[in-house]
């Protein structure tokens, strides 16, 4: 414990927490994974706290697990044995918000939706909106390159990150990127840190791009289908017509059933899938009407269209209930495959086949416009680890996604959960290069070891 | 020469060229820089040619200078002494074009505009359009992270690059990225290669994102102003109003005068600046009318608005003549600073002040919507190198750009020309990290040495 004393001495009062219950409360993310036993939590409030922690960790070769709000779904922020947990959740300042330049400079602990709200006071928005955006942090979003509902139109977190301040493993401070909309001075280090899941450095400030918020509330449609393939065909038709939805979500029957059992949404027996779409364009009403017609042409059994914000909220509410509804059914392994859009129907069939073959309950929601599916494997709360048939079904889903030209993870990151499939997607040359890059930034291997790569 | 014989032996007939005149014709880009004496040119036609060349170069420790069409403006493709020039210009296949997935897979020698035309046959477009896009290659665009006129709406080359096939310095083949719209498996190696100017590997194939082409031709405005600051104010007003132009170019009087002297565009004595804007949105006519009104409100002395393609072409033609008009005046040092949009008027004043103080002719065009300015320093054709006062003026321009929170290069790259200012923008930690990354990919330092970092 003497090495921890040295850290305590160099940090301001109250930043180092060693109470086992407190440590435990910072050790998990939203997966079922059991964390290792961590030594302590550093509750950083300033960049200097992070510098102090990393210098100490390098000196004593102690692993550091950086974390934001712990809303991750892949285990990236799960504490490892003998580590110090470095929480950035208290670094919550919006340092600058420039409407003229459409940028903000923020600390990593800023809640995603808070930044969006601050931007909207100036007619702007912060576009990335992972489903957890009311509780997730910008730092965590950057670490996983989080996506969200709006990214079908506005791109992922990477597309809003202009520059970063990063504390390296040895405590040096690196500034990457810029405040401008374009720039090619040197290698793209900003892009390298985004999605690196805390394995290359600790982000202590970010310059992010804001966008002009739409002038009017979005127009919304919800459509029901007798088959998932019809719904997928509607998505293809909508995207091919250039309708530019700002949201395009798909829910399968298992998900709808879970929601209906919980909140009674009047689910029809014939409904196998629901699509929910929005347009925030200047001609949103025309765009959404066109989308509704394309749903009908693709075989929708029911289509509702609205441009009233209250009605839109009602239509979207079903989507927002999806995850909670599933959590009521059991423990969840949430996956995140992404396939080329044309493979969406085949991927859906493959998920249904895997569920049937392995007798596993899989509820799927999808950011359908991006080809990004979240098959949620539901299993008994009683078991700490998913049972063998869940892993077998997941294995089948991943293998199929890669066969279709897809990827293991669209927006959640690799974390711990997806490492077992990593070699299926990336060959030995990639692994070699990634290890080389890791060694440049973290030669002692103390930054979030065992994660991401 | 025996080492070159070994290379000739391993390449198919006709791929290795050693005629001095031929070498000289592949040794330059569009700068005034005098190349070093290269040993040979490899005219690669396949990935295997590139693998063979890099294996040989690693074995014999010969520097390799990869190049596309040589349209670069920073010296990135200038041959270095004792190097082998590796031309990718003959690898011109569009391997795949998938309208359903809105992607294309292309070899690096594909001409940018050719890809765009191929995409348009399917109602799609390839968005990045550097001014040289009729002669530049996708490979060169990727190497410099090229921008262009449309990137005010659609982003730079990076924003259209999904995945790459890269031959590493030792001849191994690395595949990065994916075919999907989203993905976070491992570090963002695609982003790392984009803009790395041939110093990390040789791109032999790219998977790029296509976008839905606008249904109707764009609407266009051109506006004349009595002062550059008025024009800059109009740009701010247009961007702040959320008009979403698909093009927003500014020309200063020196540029307009050069064009007028060449082609007589009837330039008024009072005109100090011109703005040209386009909208390709569904409501383009309304958007362009709004932009025209904002120009008037900002003091424009004349505004023309049109949605006829022929008239639009006439208005845009002035912009397209800019570079050629300047080349008639003398040799050109083309710079590429980018500043936060709000600093555009101050940056323009700083350029005018530098021109006056150092008695240098500077003609400026700007991708004004992005804050990206191209001050072109014109000097006597007779001198091989720009005279001292040109460097002094350029030095002042760069220093000011950085003072305003800007960057040395928005879209042309660092190449050779901007290396002397690199340390002003990036500190020692950045330099250290970049050298570390370079060493991972190119431990022998044979890939385009002396460029970019």
Domain at B330-412: CATH code? 3.30.70.2740
Closest partner CB to A194 (pick from B123, B188, B236): B188
- A313 pLDDT tier (thresholds 50, 70, 90): confident
B18: distance to nearest CA of chain A, Å?
A: 33
Segment 57-116 of chain A within 8 Å of chain B by CB:
98-103
Q: Which residues are CB-contacts of A206 (< 8 A; sequence separation ≥ 6)?
A: A105, A106, A108, A138, A139, A142, A161, A163, A164, A165
Whether the predicted pLDDT of B171 surpasses 70: yes
Q: Determine whether the interchain pair B342/A98 forms a contact, defined as Cβ–Cβ distance below 8 Å.
A: yes
Residue with tokens 């050629």: B324
pLDDT at site A282: 83
* CA closest to A405 among chain B residues: B179
pLDDT in tens, A17-34: 999 999 999 999 999 999
- Count CA atoms within 13 Å of residue B90 on its CB side: 15
In angstroms, rounded to a whole number, what is the distance separating the alpha carbons of residues B186 and A434?
8
Query: Measured between beta carbons, which residues in chain A are less than 8 angstroms from residue B180?
Result: 338-340, 370-372, 405-407, 410
Q: Determine whether the interchain pair B191/A191 forms a contact, defined as Cβ–Cβ distance below 8 Å.
A: yes
Any CB–CB contact under 8 A between B180 and chain A?
Answer: yes
In angstroms, rounded to a whole number, what is the distance separating the alpha carbons of residues A164 and A192?
11
B25 touches B51 (CB < 8 A) = no
Averaged over A215-242, what is the pLDDT? 92
Q: Determine whether the interchain pair B340/A426 forms a contact, defined as Cβ–Cβ distance below 8 Å.
A: no
Any CB–CB contact under 8 A between A174 and chain B?
Answer: yes
Cβ neighbours, 10 Å, residue B374 = 24
pLDDT at site A216: 84
pLDDT at site B283: 85
What CA dihedral angle connects B303, B308, B310 and B315, to 10 degrees? 20
In angstroms, rounded to a whole number, what is the distance separating the alpha carbons of residues B158 and A410?
18
Domain boundaries, chain A: 2-87, 94-212, 215-320
- For residue A124, what are its two tokens? 């702007």
In angstroms, rounded to a whole number, what is the distance separating the alpha carbons of residues B218 and A77?
48
Query: Measured between beta carbons, which residues in chain B are less than 8 angstroms from residue A144?
Result: 184
Any CB–CB contact under 8 A between A443 and chain B?
Answer: no
Instruction: State the alpha helices, DSSP H only, in B216-343.
Output: 228-240, 253-263, 284-297, 309-327
In angstroms, rounded to a whole number, what is the distance separating the alpha carbons of residues A168 and A188?
16
Three-state DSSP class for residue A169: coil
pLDDT at site B381: 80
Whether the predicted pLDDT of B180 surpasses 70: yes
Q: Determine whether the interchain pair A410/B200 forms a contact, defined as Cβ–Cβ distance below 8 Å.
A: no
Residues of chain B with pLDDT > 90: what percent? 84
Task: Check residue B160 and report its DSSP letter.
Answer: G
Q: Determine whether the interchain pair B191/A188 forms a contact, defined as Cβ–Cβ distance below 8 Å.
A: yes
Closest partner CB to A414 (pick from B151, B182, B185): B185
Three-state DSSP class for residue A96: strand
pLDDT at site B304: 93
Averaged over A117-138, what is the pLDDT? 96
Residue with tokens 């602990």: A109
In angstroms, rounded to a whole number, what is the distance separating the alpha carbons of residues A395 and B351?
60
Backbone angles phi, psi at A371, to 5 degrees: 70, 20
Number of H helices, E strands in chain A: 15, 18
pLDDT in tens, A170-206: 999 999 999 998 988 999 999 999 999 999 999 999 9
Instruction: Provide the greatest CA pair distance for chain A.
Output: 71
Three-state DSSP class for residue B146: coil
Closest partner CB to B180 (pick from A371, A413, A430): A371
Of the options 3.90.870.10, 3.30.43.10, 3.30.70.1400, 2.40.128.20, the CATH number for the domain spanning A2-87? 3.30.43.10
pLDDT at site A277: 96
Closest partner CB to B407 (pick from A185, A188, A340): A185
Q: Determine whether the interchain pair A411/B182 forms a contact, defined as Cβ–Cβ distance below 8 Å.
A: yes
β-strands A300-306, A173-177 pairing = unpaired
More confident residue, A216 or A166: A166
Whether the predicted pLDDT of B181 surpasses 80: yes
Domain at B216-320: CATH code? 3.30.70.2190
A333 touches A376 (CB < 8 A) = yes
β-strands A84-87, A211-212 pairing = unpaired
B249 touches B147 (CB < 8 A) = no
pLDDT in tens, B432-452: 999 999 999 999 999 999 999
A53 touches A316 (CB < 8 A) = no
- For residue B226, what are its two tokens? 């009595």
B94-212: CATH topology is 3.30.465
Backbone angles phi, psi at B26, to 5 degrees: -110, 10
Q: Which helix (H) or strand (E) holds A203?
A: strand A202-209
Query: Measured between beta carbons, which residues in chain A are less than 8 angstroms from residue B433?
Result: 168, 174, 189, 440-441
B57 touches B449 (CB < 8 A) = no
Average pLDDT, chain B: 94
| Interface contacts A/B by beta carbons within 8 Å | 243
B52 touches B45 (CB < 8 A) = no
pLDDT in tens, B57-85: 999 999 999 999 999 999 999 999 999 99
Spatial CA neighbour of B245 closest among B220, B278, B222: B278
B39 touches B82 (CB < 8 A) = yes
- For residue B367, what are its two tokens? 């991708």
Averaged over A377-391, what is the pLDDT? 88
Residues of chain A with pLDDT > 70: what percent? 100
Whether the predicted pLDDT of A2 surpasses 70: no
Residue with tokens 């879970």: A258
Whether the predicted pLDDT of A245 surpasses 80: yes
Any CB–CB contact under 8 A between B427 and chain A?
Answer: yes
Spatial CA neighbour of B343 closest among A178, A406, A348: A178
- B86 pLDDT tier (thresholds 50, 70, 90): very high
Instruction: State the alpha helices, DSSP H only, in A92-184.
Output: 112-120, 138-144, 151-154
pLDDT at site A272: 95
A2: distance to nearest CA of chain B, Å?
A: 31
B201: distance to nearest CA of chain A, Å?
A: 12
Same fold, B94-212 and B216-320: no
Q: Determine whether the interchain pair A100/B236 forms a contact, defined as Cβ–Cβ distance below 8 Å.
A: yes
Q: Which helix (H) or strand (E) holds B384?
A: none
Any CB–CB contact under 8 A between B412 and chain A?
Answer: yes
Residues of chain A with pLDDT > 90: what percent? 84
pLDDT at site B364: 95
Any CB–CB contact under 8 A between B168 and chain A?
Answer: yes
In angstroms, rounded to a whole number, what is the distance separating the alpha carbons of residues B320 and A449?
53
pLDDT at site A207: 98
- B309 pLDDT tier (thresholds 50, 70, 90): confident
Query: Measured between beta carbons, which residues in chain A are less than 8 angstroms from residue B411?
Result: 182, 184
The 8 Å CB, 24+ separation contacts for A252-256 are A252/A228, A252/A348, A252/A363, A252/A364, A252/A365, A253/A228, A254/A361, A254/A362, A254/A363, A254/A364, A255/A322, A255/A325, A255/A326, A255/A363, A255/A364, A255/A365, A255/A376, A256/A318
Closest partner CB to B440 (pick from A186, A410, A433): A433
Q: Determine whether the interchain pair A156/B412 forms a contact, defined as Cβ–Cβ distance below 8 Å.
A: no
A72 touches A30 (CB < 8 A) = yes
Q: Determine whether the interchain pair B187/A194 forms a contact, defined as Cβ–Cβ distance below 8 Å.
A: no
Any CB–CB contact under 8 A between B441 and chain A?
Answer: yes
Query: Measured between beta carbons, which residues in chain A are less than 8 angstroms from residue B237?
Result: none
Averaged over B265-281, what is the pLDDT? 94
pLDDT at site A235: 95
pLDDT in tens, B34-57: 999 999 999 999 999 999 999 999
In angstroms, rounded to a whole number, what is the distance separating the alpha carbons of residues B225 and B345?
13
Identify from B130, B148, B184, B196 which residue to disrupt to test chain A contact, counting A C-beta atoms within 10 A and taking the largest count.
Answer: B184
Cα-atom radius of gyration of chain A, to the nearest Å? 22
β-strands B64-67, B84-87 pairing = parallel
Identify from A187, A398, A441 which residue to disrupt to test chain B contact, counting B C-beta atoms within 10 A and taking the largest count.
Answer: A187
Q: Determine whether the interchain pair A184/B414 forms a contact, defined as Cβ–Cβ distance below 8 Å.
A: yes
Q: Concatenate the DSSP letters of all residues of B216-243 into one string.
A: SPPEEEEEEESSHHHHHHHHHHHHHTT-
Burial class (CB in 10 A: 0-12, 13-18, 19+), A434: buried
B234 touches B223 (CB < 8 A) = yes
Query: Measured between beta carbons, which residues in chain B are less than 8 angstroms from residue A47?
Result: none
Any CB–CB contact under 8 A between A406 and chain B?
Answer: yes
* CA closest to A192 among chain B residues: B188
- A321 pLDDT tier (thresholds 50, 70, 90): confident
Task: Check residue A421 and report its DSSP letter.
Answer: G
pLDDT at site B318: 87
Burial class (CB in 10 A: 0-12, 13-18, 19+), B435: exposed
Chain-centre distance for alpha carbon B36: 23
Three-state DSSP class for residue A290: helix
Going from the C-alpha of B274 to that of each of B70, B223, B243, B363, the distances in angstroms are 30, 6, 18, 13
Cβ neighbours, 10 Å, residue A1 = 8
Any CB–CB contact under 8 A between A173 and chain B?
Answer: yes
Whether the predicted pLDDT of B383 surpasses 80: no
Query: Measured between beta carbons, which residues in chain B are less than 8 angstroms from residue A453?
Result: 186-187
Task: Check residue A93 and report its DSSP letter.
Answer: -
Q: Determine whether the interchain pair A192/B194 forms a contact, defined as Cβ–Cβ distance below 8 Å.
A: no
Closest partner CB to A409 (pick from B144, B156, B185): B185
Q: Determine whether the interchain pair B407/A100 forms a contact, defined as Cβ–Cβ distance below 8 Å.
A: no
Identify from B180, B208, B421 which residue to disrupt to test chain A contact, counting A C-beta atoms within 10 A and taking the largest count.
Answer: B180
Closest partner CB to B175 (pick from A179, A283, A427): A427
Q: Which residues are CB-contacts of B91 (< 8 A; sequence separation ≥ 6)?
A: B44, B45, B46, B107, B108, B109, B110, B139, B204
- A6 pLDDT tier (thresholds 50, 70, 90): very high
Segment 233-272 of chain A within 8 Å of chain B by CB:
236, 239-240, 242, 244
- B398 pLDDT tier (thresholds 50, 70, 90): very high
pLDDT at site B2: 61
- For residue B106, what are its two tokens? 């292309």
Whether the predicted pLDDT of B1 surpasses 60: no
pLDDT at site A191: 97
Query: Measured between beta carbons, which residues in chain A are less than 8 angstroms from residue B346?
Result: none
In angstroms, rounded to a whole number, what is the distance separating the alpha carbons of residues A222 and A120?
26
Going from the C-alpha of A10 to that of each of A7, A55, A82, A447, B341, the distances in angstroms are 5, 10, 20, 20, 42
B227 touches B272 (CB < 8 A) = yes
Whether the predicted pLDDT of A375 surpasses 80: yes
- B156 pLDDT tier (thresholds 50, 70, 90): very high
- For residue A312, what are its two tokens? 């839109």
Task: Check residue A273 and report its DSSP letter.
Answer: E
Domain A215-320 grouped into CATH 3.30.70.2190 = yes
Whether the predicted pLDDT of A292 surpasses 90: yes
Q: Determine whether the interchain pair A179/B102 forms a contact, defined as Cβ–Cβ distance below 8 Å.
A: no
Residue with tokens 């301040």: A165
* CA closest to A339 among chain B residues: B180
Query: Measured between beta carbons, which residues in chain B are less than 8 angstroms from residue A442?
Result: none
Task: Check residue B129 and report its DSSP letter.
Answer: -
pLDDT in tens, A324-347: 899 899 999 999 999 998 899 899
B171 touches A421 (CB < 8 A) = no
């Amino acid at each position: 414990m003497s090495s921890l004393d040295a850290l305590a001495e160099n940090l301001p009062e109250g930043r180092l927490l060693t109470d086992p219950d407190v440590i435990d409360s910072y050790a998990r993310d939203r997966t079922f994974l059991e964390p290792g036993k961590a030594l302590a939590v550093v509750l950083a409030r300033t960049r200097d706290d992070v510098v102090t922690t990393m210098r100490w960790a390098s000196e004593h070769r102690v692993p550091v697990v950086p974390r934001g709000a712990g809303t991750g779904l892949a285990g990236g922020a799960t504490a490892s044995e003998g580590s110090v947990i470095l929480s950035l959740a208290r670094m919550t300042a919006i340092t600058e918000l420039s409407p003229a330049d459409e940028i903000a400079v923020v600390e990593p602990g800023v809640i995603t939706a808070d930044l969006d709200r601050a931007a909207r006071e100036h007619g702007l928005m912060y576009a990335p909106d992972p489903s957890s955006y009311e509780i997730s942090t910008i730092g965590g979003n950057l670490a996983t390159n989080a996506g969200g509902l709006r990214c079908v139109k506005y791109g992922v977190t990477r597309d809003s990150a202009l520059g970063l301040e990063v504390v390296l493993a040895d405590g040096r401070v690196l500034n990457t990127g810029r405040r401008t909309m374009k720039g090619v001075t040197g290698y793209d280090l900003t892009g390298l840190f985004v999605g690196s899941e805390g394995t290359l450095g600790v982000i202590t400030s970010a310059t992010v791009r804001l966008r002009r918020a739409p002038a009017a509330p979005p127009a919304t449609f919800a459509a029901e289908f007798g088959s998932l393939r019809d719904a997928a065909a509607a998505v293809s038709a909508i995207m091919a017509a250039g309708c530019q939805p700002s949201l395009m979500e798909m829910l399968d029957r298992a998900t709808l059933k879970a929601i209906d059992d919980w909140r009674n949404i009047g689910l029809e027996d014939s409904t196998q899938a629901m699509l929910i779409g929005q347009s925030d364009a200047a001609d949103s009403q025309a765009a959404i009407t066109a989308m509704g017609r394309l749903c009908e042409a693709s075989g929708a059994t029911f289509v509702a269209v609205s441009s009233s914000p209250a009605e839109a909220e009602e239509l979207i509410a079903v989507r927002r209930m999806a995850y909670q509804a599933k959590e009521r059914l059991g423990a969840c392994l949430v996956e995140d495959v992404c396939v080329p859009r044309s493979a969406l129907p085949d991927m859906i069939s493959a998920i249904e086949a895997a569920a049937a073959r392995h007798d596993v309950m899989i509820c799927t929601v999808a950011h359908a416009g991006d080809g990004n599916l979240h098959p949620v494997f539901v299993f008994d709360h009683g078991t700490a680890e998913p049972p063998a048939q869940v892993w077998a079904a997941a294995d089948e889903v991943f293998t199929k996604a890669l066969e279709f030209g897809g990827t293991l993870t669209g927006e959640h990151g690799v974390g711990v959960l997806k490492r077992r499939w990593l070699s299926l997607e990336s060959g030995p040359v990639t692994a070699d290069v990634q290890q080389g890059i890791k060694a440049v930034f973290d030669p002692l291997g103390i930054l979030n070891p065992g994660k991401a790569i």
